[in-house]
Structure 1
Amino acid sequence: MNKEIKDKSWHEVVIIKDGTRACGSGGVLGNSPLVQNKSYFEVKLQQSGIWGVGLATRNTNLNSAPGGNDAESWVFCFDGVLRHNKKELQGVTKRATEGDVIGISFNHIELNFYINGICLDAPITGIRGTVYPAIYVDDGAIMDIILDNFVYAPPNGFQKIMVEQSLL
């Protein structure tokens, strides 16, 4: 958000707070792809509900939460499950609750998730294509994206999403 997560969303998602908060029903993508080698961003869970955070391509289905329902999205969901293509990739032992900050790091080899700075140690690999930050909300969930001034330090070598610019 923050001018990043506004570009493509389902019509039932509401983007407020200068483009940093998602609520309503469905999914929203950032408008800047993750092009650098080591990208990091955070999402704060303001209110519980059905939600998912992670990465997706422009071809993902944004009409349902929590995401991970097609071959175009890879998400960590409200129920502690990592999902992709309607499959549970793995469950994790920790779930995020209201007030928690979920970190997302991606280096084009692994996608990793963190809760309050602690790595979930459940990497997702095999991600192909141009991907964007993705947030899915439903059933009252409210999520804020944090694109800089992070609450927790990014993993070593990771940094905020760089906006690609063309000189020509």
Structure 2
Amino acid sequence: AYQEFTFHFFSGKDVVILKEGERICGTGAALGTLPIVQNKAYFQVDVQQNGTWGVGLGNSHSPLDAVPVACDFWGIRDNGDVVANETVIGKLNKPISEGDSIGVCYDHVELKFLVNGEWAEPSITGIRGPVTDKHPASIQGLLQAYPIIYVDESAIIDVKFRRFTQEAPSGYDEILAEQTLL
């Protein structure tokens, strides 16, 4: 069984979270507290004010006081860079400006983006979890991915985990929380 995603974040010490968890500003990153567990998940961010920002997926090792987040971050940056764990793999083929809406789609194989409801390229594949003593390389692929948003230089980002203003693509749905039954 699943329950609705809650609007809670782990965040860097200088991150400000307003509007019941729907607005992120300040300096640093905010990481959702619940991993994406369903097959096809969608969330949306709106660029309310330009600055330095990034949106995508992170994990429990993502550095929340770093801007830009590079290590353990898969996503897009305000300048259009598409980043896969510290490596810039390309530039988004659609520019992003203040007022734009970005859809984030993840199906555990590919991370895809929409800008104002239109698909943007490139997408990101090969998302992996950290290699630690608890997570040896042999099980590295079992990533628990969380939504992550980072901000700096006056950026204001609104995040929507439901009640989207841009419709989720066919087959994708709001992030659901896995409910454990005892």
- CA distance in 2 between partners of 1:146 and 1:105 (Å): 13
Matches within 5 A, 1:79-94: 79-94=79-94
What is the Cα-based RMSD across aligned positions, in Å? 1.2
Contact persistence 2:41–2:174 (CA under 8 A): yes
Is the radius of gyration larger for structure 1 or structure 2? 2
* Unaligned ranges ≥5, structure 1: none
Distance 1:51 1:80 in 2: 10
Rounded to whole Å, the distance in 2 between the matches of 1:101 and 1:116 is 5
- Which one of 96, 116, 132 corresponds to residue 146 of structure 2? 132
Distance between the aligned counterparts of 1:148 and 1:90, measured in 2? 29
Higher share of residues assigned strand: 2
Q: Which amino acid aligns with 1:88?
A: V
Instruction: Name the residue aligned to 2:95.
Output: 95
Counterparts of residues 102-121 of structure 1 (less than 5 Å): 102-121=102-121
Q: What is the correspondence of 1:52-91 to structure 2 with a 5 Å cutoff?
A: 52-67=54-69, 69-70=70-71, 72-91=72-91
Quote the offset at 1:123 in angstroms. Answer: 1.0
TM superposition shift of 1:86? 2.3
1:145 aligns with 2:159: yes
Question: Separation in 2 of the partners of 1:44 and 1:102?
Answer: 6
One-letter code aligned to 2:173: Q
Structure 1 residue aligned with 2:122: 122
Equivalent position amino acid for 1:84 in 2 = A
Indicate whether 1:4 and 2:18 are aligned: no
Contact 2:45–2:103 (8 Å) recurs in 1: yes
TM normalised by structure 1 equals: 0.93
- The reply to whether residue 156 of structure 1 matches residue 170 of structure 2 is yes
With the length of structure 2 as denominator, give the TM-score of the two structures: 0.86
Give the C-alpha shift of residue 66 in structure 1.
Answer: 2.9
Residues 33-44 of structure 1 mapped to structure 2, 5 A cutoff: 33-44=35-46
- C-alpha distance in structure 2 between counterparts of 1:53 and 1:85, whole Å: 13
Aligned sequence identity (%): 41
Report the secondary structure of 1:163's partner residue: strand
Partner-residue secondary structure (3-state), 2:127: coil
User: Could you list the per-position Cα deviations for residues 9-55 of structure 1 after superposition, in whole angstroms to 9, with x for gaps in the alignment?
Assistant: 10000001111110000001001111000000000110000000000
How far is 1:167 from its partner? 1.2
